[in-house]
């Protein structure tokens, strides 16, 4: 316990945690510190977790929430709550390769997600994260007041993000579930644990504002999509084999950089069930 250290990696968000061995389990005090680090930094990274079993990974996730199955792809046989995410050497698109918060097209999107690196390319494949508290707080007061009263429509069928799933769905074959999902969420969400307001739209899933057409919504949304991922709101994580990232899906967006064509990348993801945004 005395060896646990938390080290921020950027001004906006992100921290590396040293001194935690997931395979050995976490005591209550360590769980409390990791959870607080997640709330403080929105995404935390743990290195040197090589050889972690799926049972240990699942047990780690369960101390922070309830694992939930991804709605379109099957989990690993025997471990339906763990999704293996593979980009093969011949593939050009990477899974989820666009700025987004996970599955905001569900009525109750995940509270958090975890990703574990089994195999990484020799270079590239970093993941970017963006702080949506700061994205909201740096908007002008009149724009914040306007957005506070709006509801956004999220869809799983938007073309840019659908393209990033094609290889994974093709590989899953008959086991994939191709169903379009739609949900309504406030444009400005209040975090259920911190009480802070944050911007809750994303370019991958948000199609328009409720009561407005897509054409009417587009200029405002395009501004927000660019604003919410400004470099000063972000951090960049360089993976190692055995690294784990755990992010707060309510307050952070992420974008896996697709710059390692010709190399294989293998990750395992767990998402944690969340509540209906308000």
Find the mean pLDDT for residues 18-43: 97
Per residue in 202-224, pLDDT (tens digit) is: 999 999 999 999 999 999 999 99
Catalytic residue numbers, as ranges:
100, 102, 254, 269
Find the mean pLDDT for residues 94-109: 93
Angle (CA) 218-220-222 rounded to 5° is 65
Find the mean pLDDT for residues 210-239: 98
Q: Is the pLDDT of residue 159 over 60?
A: no
Lowest model confidence (mean pLDDT) among 4-8, 127-131, 141-145, 159-163: 159-163
Task: Give the 3-state secondary structure of residue 152.
Answer: strand
Domain boundaries defined on the chain: 5-272
Residues 6 or more apart whose CB falls under 8 angstroms from that of 4 comprise 17, 18, 19, 20, 30, 33
Residues 6 or more apart whose CB falls under 8 angstroms from that of 159 comprise none
| CA distance linking residue 223 with residue 260, whole number of Å | 29
Find the mean pLDDT for residues 180-186: 95
| CA distance linking residue 31 with residue 130, whole number of Å | 24
Query: How many C-beta atoms lie closer than 10 Å to residue 90's C-beta?
Result: 9
Q: Which CATH architecture has domain 5-272?
A: 4-Layer Sandwich (3.60)
pLDDT at residue number 171: 65
Give the closest residue to 241 by CA, choosing from 266, 260, 258: 266
More confident residue, 3 or 65: 65
Q: In the chain, pLDDT over 70 holds for what percent of residues?
A: 92
pTM of the model: 0.93
Per residue in 105-144, pLDDT (tens digit) is: 999 999 999 999 999 999 999 999 999 999 999 999 999 9
Give the closest residue to 195 by CA, choosing from 252, 114, 250: 250
Q: Is the pLDDT of residue 163 over 90?
A: no
pLDDT at residue number 1: 45
| CA distance linking residue 84 with residue 49, whole number of Å | 17
The mean predicted confidence, pLDDT, of the chain is 93
| CA distance linking residue 207 with residue 5, whole number of Å | 41
Per residue in 38-85, pLDDT (tens digit) is: 999 999 999 999 989 999 999 999 999 999 998 878 899 999 999 999
pLDDT at residue number 174: 59
pLDDT at residue number 74: 87
Give the closest residue to 228 by CA, choosing from 113, 108, 102, 100: 100
Query: How many C-beta atoms lie closer than 10 Å to residue 147's C-beta?
Result: 21
């Amino acid at each position: 316990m005395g060896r646990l250290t938390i080290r921020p990696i950027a001004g906006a968000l992100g921290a590396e945690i040293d001194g935690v061995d997931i395979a050995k389990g976490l005591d209550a005090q360590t769980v409390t510190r990791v959870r607080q680090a997640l709330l403080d930094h929105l995404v935390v990274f743990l290195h040197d977790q090589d050889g972690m079993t799926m049972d240990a990974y699942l047990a780690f996730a369960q101390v922070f929430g309830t694992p939930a199955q991804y709605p379109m792809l099957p989990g690993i046989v025997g471990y339906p709550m763990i999704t293996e995410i593979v980009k093969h050497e011949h593939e050009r698109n990477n899974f989820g390769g666009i700025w987004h918060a996970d599955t905001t097209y569900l009525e109750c999107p995940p509270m958090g997600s975890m990703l574990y690196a089994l195999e990484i390319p020799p270079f590239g494949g970093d993941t970017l994260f963006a702080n949506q508290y700061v994205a909201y707080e740096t908007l002008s007061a009149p724009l914040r007041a306007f957005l506070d009263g709006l509801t956004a429509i999220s869809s799983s069928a938007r073309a840019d993000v659908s393209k990033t799933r094609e290889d994974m769905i093709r590989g899953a074959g008959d086991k994939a579930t191709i169903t379009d999902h739609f949900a309504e969420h406030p444009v400005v969400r209040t975090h259920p644990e911190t009480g802070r307001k944050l911007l809750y739209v994303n370019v991958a899933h948000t199609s328009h504002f409720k009561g407005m057409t897509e054409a009417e919504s587009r200029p405002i949304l395009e501004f927000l999509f660019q604003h919410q991922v400004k470099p000063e709101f972000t951090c960049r994580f360089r993976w190692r084999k055995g690294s784990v990232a755990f992010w707060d899906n309510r307050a952070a967006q992420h974008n896996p950089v697709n710059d390692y064509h010709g190399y294989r990348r293998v990750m395992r993801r767990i998402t944690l069930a969340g509540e209906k945004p308000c």
